[in-house]
Structure 1
Amino acid sequence: MKPFVAFFIMTICLASPVWAQDLTGPQKNAVRSANAYLSMSGFSRDGLIEQLSSAYGDGYEEVDAIAAVDSLSVNWNEQATRSAWNYLKIMGFSCQGLIEQLSSDAGDKYTRAQATYGAQQAGAC
């Protein structure tokens, strides 16, 4: 199995709801949206919440977006690595530049530790 295919399958499996039975209808819908986003691209926890709750995104209430994202079992380090790989596919980054992009509030909103992990795993450091 190719590494990306294995990573994709693993991401989908890891992003399944942990306590979906306790979620409201809007929260369950936000889980479905979150899983769709995670199947397409890497997201940080805060970035995914913003995507789900933004008026320019899905428009869910922030409380519903938070509950949905927090109900998922996601390896955020793997998501940071995925995002780092995506950035490196389109342009070059220094190690520090990629960490800044991944961890910036104007960027992907990963924690500094997650961004560092992702940049290192993607080979930028």
Structure 2
Amino acid sequence: MDFLKIVLTAALFAAAPTWAGDLTGPQKNAVRSAKQYLSMTGFSRNGLISQLSSDVGDGFGVSDATLAVDSLNIDWNQEAVRSAKQYLSMMGFSCKGLIKQLSSSAGDKYTVDQATYGAKQAGGC
């Protein structure tokens, strides 16, 4: 029984998220870039990781970008609302079209639930 507790405890610590103090130099730089992007426009988790890790973006490794993004406390639903409002301020979208734009892998890469929430809260549906 004690062995099982040790194994479960070890697994819990191994699965624990990396906190900002534990980040490497490149990961801290990725955090700084992520914060800058988020100060300008709405991003989904996957969209922000893609931007940070893209060769035509910031060029961070995918693992560094992922750790950086996951170390931040971001409300992805609110980011979806922000993105939806930005789209609606530029052009007209149907509800379905806006959700598709927000959730598409070629678009903003929000989950369908996040995209739906964003579109509804922004007044697009």
TM-score range, shorter chain: 0.7 to 0.9
The structural deviation recorded for 1:19 is: 1.8
Partner of 1:66: 66
Shift of 1:26: 0.3
SS in structure 2 at match of 1:21: helix
Q: What is the TM-score with the length of structure 1 in the denominator?
A: 0.85
Counterpart residue number, 2:8: none
Residue equivalent to 1:56? 56
* Larger Rg belongs to: 2
Q: Distance in 2 between matches of 1:89 and 1:69?
A: 27
What is aligned with 1:11?
none
Alignment of 1:27-42 (within 5 A): 27-42=27-42
- Unaligned segments of structure 2, at least 5 residues: 1-17
Tell me, in whole angstroms, the C-alpha distance in 2 between the residues paired with 1:33 and 1:19.
17
Output the CA distance in 1 between the equivalents of 2:52 and 2:92: 29
Q: What is the TM-score with the length of structure 2 in the denominator?
A: 0.85
**In the alignment, residue 121 of structure 2 is paired with which amino acid?**
Q
Unpaired stretches in structure 1, ≥5 consecutive residues: 1-17
Q: Report the residue type matching 1:33 in the other structure.
A: S
Displaced runs of 4 or more, over 2 A: none
1:94 match? 94
**Could you tell me which residue of structure 1 aligns to residue 109 of structure 2?**
109
Paired residues in the alignment total: 108
